[in-house]
Each structure stands twice: as structure tokens, then as C-alpha cells.
Amino acid sequence: METQPTFRALADPTRRDILLMLRDKEMTIAEVTDNFDMTRAAVKKHLTVLSDGGLITVRAQGRERINSLNPAGMAPIRDWLTFFDAFWDTRLSALKSEIEKDTQ
Amino acid sequence: METQPTFRALADPTRRDILLMLRDKEMTIAEVTDNFDMTRAAVKKHLTVLSDGGLITVRAQGRERINSLNPAGMAPIRDWLTFFDAFWDTRLSALKSEIEKDTQ
DNA sequence: TACATATGAAACCATAAGGTACCATGTCAA
DNA sequence: TTGACATGGTACCTTATGGTTTCATATGTA
């Protein structure tokens, strides 16, 4: 799996905001654009980068393009972060005890 | 907490490689440079970006600068990713069962 | 069909980013 | 003190990136 496109996609604040918006509902390019102070063309470029990073999926519906969040696309990031888990004993044990408490 | 410097720091593959190297041991700028095909000045810039992102700490030791991994700096990324946890039921339950198996 | 709507795409701009070259400064060692 | 060594810092170059404008194309609708 190529991680670069995903890290690259997350590096821009506008794109991260778009992802947060798409949590609530799928949106057309025009709808996404309504939330920003920039042209539709600029937003389209951001959506392309997000798509390249596997963070969203796009499907055509008539003349519209429905953009949907693809949370699975964040796996490369999560996986890469696990490379540093050895330094996170504290956090991991906290999570573990939290889950254990939950399963009682 | 400002997340942008951290996401920005992780967007470059060279910088991610530097972080992986620093897991094993602290390194001076010259030592980090030995691992790449670029000048010390370029590596220094990367280290500055990593420092700005809170991902490494630098301390002076004589004429050297010791660069150390600061895994806590990745918290902003981990925290941001949790915004999408609602879409991760499958992965979370897998982790949960994994931990449950571990605690048997 | 005729016109408005939703995108796609390319040309163009200014700025940010990744690198190099070069010179200054601080520190270790004889 | 005198070099040698490790960095700091700046000027400069090239390419990538974020945006806008403008025009073409496809689809919905009166």
C-alpha cells in the first residue's frame, strides 16, 4: 500500500475539513464548495487529492458527482503510527484497561 | 493544540523515514544525514519541520545537536483520527477481541 | 429544442517547499 | 592559539501546490 498519497491528502487543512463534513453526509462538489470561500475548481482539486489518497470515493449520479467518506482509506496512517507503539505503553495500557472494564 | 504543523511534518517521506530511524536511537544531524543522499542543510530543514511539528526534540551537547523522537507529538494525529471512529466498528471490535483473547 | 445546471479540464499565477552552495559561528583538541 | 569539526543561517534555484479564470461537455427541464 502506498502511504504517500494518503499522508499528502491529510496535510492540507481544507481537505481535513472536507473529510469532517463528509462524516455527516455525502455531498456533491457544489455542496462541498458552499462551505468554503473558494471556487468550485479549487474544491474539485482538493477532492481529487482526497480521492487519490483513498480517503473518499466518488460516484456519478446524473450530472452530479457524489463524494463519500471512505474511512478505510485512513488505514495506512493508522498502520504507520503503530510503528511507534513501543513508545506508547502508557496509552495502550490505558486503552486496554478501558476495554477490559467495558467487557466486564 | 495546533495540528497543522504535525500533519505537515508527516507529509514528507524523508521526514517519516527520519522518525523511523530515531525509534532506535538518538542521532546528531550528521548521523541522520549519513542515511540520506542529500546535503546536511537539507536534512537540517527537515529536522526543523519535525521539531516544529512536535515530533522530535533537540538538545545541544557540546557542538552537536542530539535529535530524539518525541512520540507524544503524534497525539494530534491520533486524536484527529478518532473523529472517524464511528466508521470503524469493524476494526475496533477486532482490536477488542484481540485484547480479550490476550487477557484470558 | 433551448437553456440552465453540474462538472471536467486546461492555462496561468503566486507562494510554499525541497535542495544546493557558501559562509559564519561555536566547540573540541593539540 | 590554531585547526578541524558540527552546526546555523542565508541566498538562490526548481518544482509542487493551492487558487482563479475561462471554456467545453454532459444532463435535467421547460
Judged by CB atoms closer than 8 Å, whether chains meet at B96 and A103 is answered as yes
- Considering only CA atoms, name the residue closest to the C1' of nucleotide C5: A63
pLDDT, tens only, B59-70: 999 999 999 999
User: From the Cβ of A64, is strand C under 7 Å away?
Assistant: yes
CB of B71 within 8 Å of a chain A CB? The answer is: yes
How many domains does chain B contain in total?
A: 1
- Please determine, for residue B90, whether its predicted confidence score (pLDDT) is greater than 50: no
User: From the Cβ of B91, is strand C under 7 Å away?
Assistant: no
Q: The CATH number of the domain where B28 resides is what?
A: 1.10.10.10
pLDDT, tens only, A56-83: 999 999 999 999 999 999 999 999 999 9
Chain A contact set for B86 (CB, 8 A): 23
Residue A96 C-alpha cell reads as: 486496554
Q: Which domain holds residue B95?
A: 4-102
pLDDT, tens only, A5-51: 999 999 999 999 999 999 999 999 999 999 999 999 999 999 999 99
| Residue-wise DSSP of A35-99 | TSSS-HHHHHHHHHHHHHTTSEEEEEETTEEEEEE-GGGGHHHHHHHHTTGGG-HHHHHHHHHHH
| DSSP-H helix ranges across chain B | 4-10, 13-24, 29-34, 40-52, 75-81, 89-102
- Please determine, for residue B14, whether its predicted confidence score (pLDDT) is greater than 50: yes
Q: Which nucleotides of C are covered by protein (CB under 7 A)?
A: 5-11, 17-22, 26-28
